[in-house]
Each structure stands twice: as structure tokens, then as C-alpha cells.
Amino acid sequence: MISKEKLIKISDVIWEIPKSYRSDMLVPARIFATERMLEEVFNDRSLEQLVNVATLRGIQGYAMAMPDAHEGYGFPIGGVAATLYPDGVISPGGIGYDINCGVRLVRSQLKINDIKDHLSYLAQEIYRMVPSGVGEGGELKLSSQDMDSVLKTGVNWMIKNGFATQDDARHIESNGILENANPDNISKDAKSRGLDQLGTIGSGNHFAEIDIVDEIFDEKAAGALGLWKDQAVVLIHCGSRGLGHQVATDHIRIMMGAMARYDITLPDRELACVPFSSPEGTNYFDAMAAAANFAWANRQYITWEIRQAWKKILGPSGGDLSLVYDVAHNIAKIETHEINGKKTKVIMHRKGATRAFGPGHPELAQEYQAVGQPVLIPGSMGTASYVLVGTQEGMKTSFGSCCHGAGRKMSRAAAKRSIHGHTLHEELLQAGIHVQTGSIRDLSEEAPQAYKDVHDIVDVVHQAGIARKVARLRPCVVIKG
């Protein structure tokens, strides 16, 4: 069990487990946290999992855990790792089961006061338009041919079919399409699970919200993102649904059977991995890319559904809903980073971690070049969410990566035991938060008390310099499964 005495304090918010801690570590491990927050991290296996990540073949720099880190499958959630391209390993545990779970922010042209009398109606209409809940399907039913096209082309399929614009695509990470996607590497079971799930949120911590921009920290960056105080915005959090989960399940099984051929031994079988350049590695990467495309298409279709609900309730006075940004936080990408003074091509694993590229990066839309990539950090439904931007310092410190949310501190079962859903629902309503959910009883699983303090989490990444605070959002309407 790792204790605080084993950690080296790099700064007030950066701690290191040295490579000497365990003989099989290939790089040190770093944790972004305050001294007080470290105590919560010691309560689960997340640091032990981080040390295990530091043993992966080809790992570069550091294995890293963001301040929202907690125990996951193989990797801690909030884990970041770069392995050398092309012969370092790729590990599905470093991406997660919900491939390209991510967040998108959509801005309106209205103040929240302009729509305050319509909030309950908007909540009901969005809930009607956007299916949510375990296994819940939507109205859009894909043919097998359309499914392959969505998997191959992502948001481009949405543009072609009138559910997205080119301007939407410009404001999505990777423009909403990973070009290496190969639908042939996705099983029939996975495809069948996704046939009716485009435009659906699912369950757990996924949601759609109407928020108010209640504080601006950086006027210049907020202006570049089109955000201003008291503005009504929409936040969407979901991923690749059952399709992505099945892709992970299928390929983890394949990798577990293949590791011996590549002489790979691991401290934890949940880290199942193979060389990226191997047939199993490239097949998984191309399948993961297809599932990521599906997730971007999913969030895009949800955006279209919300735009329809917005128009129905508010009419012409509602104006347009414009996409600020859409960012993934469960994904692997091929990126180039400076490591030990040398530009190095790596396989970036981000699991429960958000890409946070700094100003001037060629992948950013022109209007974001001067301020950096928008970074979206949702909190709990009763607290707040944040908009940040990436920094040049973060490109060096964390491979251009940031946290992805508040991070759980209480299991769903524990939350249900200690928090009553009906009481929570009433408390949220008293706080001015309209909640539409299919299960009041299960609402307690996502209670604010079940999560770490998002304000503390964001302060850490801001203080560490890996992302910079721009705006804080407060929820007014929450849609959940």
C-alpha cells in the first residue's frame, strides 16, 4: 500500500512516486493534487493502479493521475499515459469501456432570465426529445449500411443527413472524425447494440443540462469562446453507449489471449495490452476510432434534438444554439510531444482525462488559436461545471492533458444507501434546479455528495498551469436517465 511518505513533493499540487518505488516501474508516476486531496486518493487502489501503468512497455515521461482520479479498470480514472509509437503498447484499460465519453458545450444568444419562465417546459421537452436510461433507444434507427457509414465518417454523416453543419464540425476535437476508423473491426454484437442508440444519453453520470454562466474569470478567453455572464448555455455529457462497451469487451478478450505471444507480463491483467504495431493493436485502435466516431455522432444528434426542443418552446425568439466545443475524455490518439527535449511520436492514452492543447496548436479552430483549446469540466448536478483553456505549460507538464470532472468519492451503492432520491430531488428544486429523470430513486447515485469538490479539482489544474479557468457554469435544468 502506497503511503504519503513514499511521495516526493514537486510543488504544492504535484507529487511524484519515484521510479525506485518498485523495480518494474519504467518511469516515475505523478499525481496532481493538494496535500488534503491526497488523503482521498489513498482510500482506493488508484495510486497502485498508477504505479502499474508505469510498468507498461514503451511508456514515456511519467504515468499521470489528474486531481479527479479514482479507481478504475486497469488504469485509474483520471489516468494519462504516453507510449512510444509504433512499438509501445496500446491498452484498452487506458481508454475505458465508454469509448469517447465526452462533453460538449453549446451557447445560446439569450440570458437565463430571458427563458426563466420556460425552464420547466424546456426540461420536459428536452427529456421527451432526448431518450435517456439504461439501454434506452431513440427514434433514429440505422440500417447496417448507415451504421458502417457513421462508424467510418462520424459527424460527416450527420452533416450529410442534415443534423449538423460544417461550423459544428470545426468546433469538435478532430473535427468529429478519426480517419483510421474501420467498421470491419467491430463485431456484429457491438453494431447491433448501437443501431437505435444515436441521440440517446444512457444512464449513470451522463446528462444534458441548461446552465447559466455565473462567473467569468478570463474576459479575453471567454470572448473568444463566445461566453458572457448570465448567458444560457447547454452542456451534454455522454459517449458511445452499448456499442463502445462491446468494442472494449471484445478487444480486451482478444488481447488477453495474445499477450503471451508478445512476451508481455503484467502486474494486473486488467492492463491487458499488445504492441500498437501488432495486428491486435492496430485492429483495436481502428475499432476504437470507429466507436469514437459513433460517440461524436451521438452527441451531435443529441444537439440536433435539443435545438428542435429549443425552437419548439421558445420559437424565433430563442435564436440559434452554437457549438463552443466538443472534447473526448476516454480515447487514445497518435500525438507528437516534446519529451526530454526531443519531439517524440506517442500513443496518448487518456482515460477520464481531457485533451488540453495550448495556444497556437494547428488542430484548433482559428478563433481559439490565441487562447488555447476549450476544456470542459462537468461537476455534479447540484454544484457547478467549468470552462477552461489549455496552456503551453500544460503541453510540457501533462502531455496537453487535464482533468475531466469532479471524480467520484462514493460508490453508487453507498450513495443510494445514504441519500434518499426524493429528498435530493426536492433539495435540487428548492435550489432552482429543474430535474427530469426516469428514476427519482436512482437519482441519489449522482448526488453532489457522491463526488469530490469540483472547485478544488479545477483550482489544482489552474494552479499547476495545465489549464486556465475561463468561466463557471451553474445548472438550472438537468436531464438524466
Three-state secondary structure string covering the chain: CCCHHHCEEEECCEEEECHHHCCCCCCCEEEECCHHHHHHHCCCCHHHHHHHHCCCCCEEEEEEEEEEEECCCCCCEEEEEEEECCCCEECHHHCCCCCCCEEEEEEEEEEHHHCHHHHHHHHHHHHHHCCCCCCCCCCCCCCHHHHHHHHHHCHHHHHHCCCCCHHHHHCEHHHHCCCCCCHHHCCHHHHHHHCCCCCCCCCCCCEEEEEEEEEECCHHHHHHHCCCCCEEEEEEEECCHHHHHHHHHHHHHHHHHHHHHHCCCCCCHHHCCEECCCHHHHHHHHHHHHHHHHHHHHHHHHHHHHHHHHHHHHHHHHCCCEEEEEEECEEEEEEEEEECCEEEEEEEEEECEEECCCCCCCCCCHHHCCCCCEEEECCCCCCCEEEEEECHHHHHHCCCEEECCCCECCCHHHHHHHCCHHHHHHHHHHCCCEEEECCCHHHHHHCHHHECCHHHHHHHHHHHCCEEEEEEEEEEEEEEC
Q: What is the mean pLDDT of residues 113-118?
A: 97
* pLDDT given for residue 322 in this prediction: 98
The answer on pLDDT for 441 being more than 90 is no
| CATH no. of 4-409+451-480 | 3.90.1860.10
* pLDDT given for residue 353 in this prediction: 98
What band does 252 get if pLDDT is binned at 50, 70 and 90?
very high
Sign for the CA dihedral angle at 405, 410, 412, 415 comes to negative
Tens digits of per-residue pLDDT, 346-403? 999 999 999 999 999 999 999 999 999 999 999 988 899 999 999 999 999 999 999 9
Sign for the CA dihedral angle at 410, 414, 418, 419 comes to positive
All structural domains of the chain with their residue ranges? 4-409+451-480
404 labelled catalytic: yes
Tens digits of per-residue pLDDT, 270-289? 999 999 999 999 999 999 99
* pLDDT given for residue 3 in this prediction: 86
What band does 137 get if pLDDT is binned at 50, 70 and 90?
confident
The answer on pLDDT for 212 being more than 90 is yes
The answer on pLDDT for 136 being more than 90 is no
Q: What is the mean pLDDT of residues 61-76?
A: 97
Q: Please give the share of the chain, as a percent, with pLDDT higher than 90.
A: 85
* pLDDT given for residue 133 in this prediction: 77
The answer on pLDDT for 28 being more than 90 is yes
Catalytic one of 404, 420, 422, 425:
404
* pLDDT given for residue 139 in this prediction: 84
> Of the ranges 173-177, 316-320, 410-414, 432-436, which one carries the lowest mean pLDDT score?
410-414
Is pTM, for the whole model, over 0.85?
yes
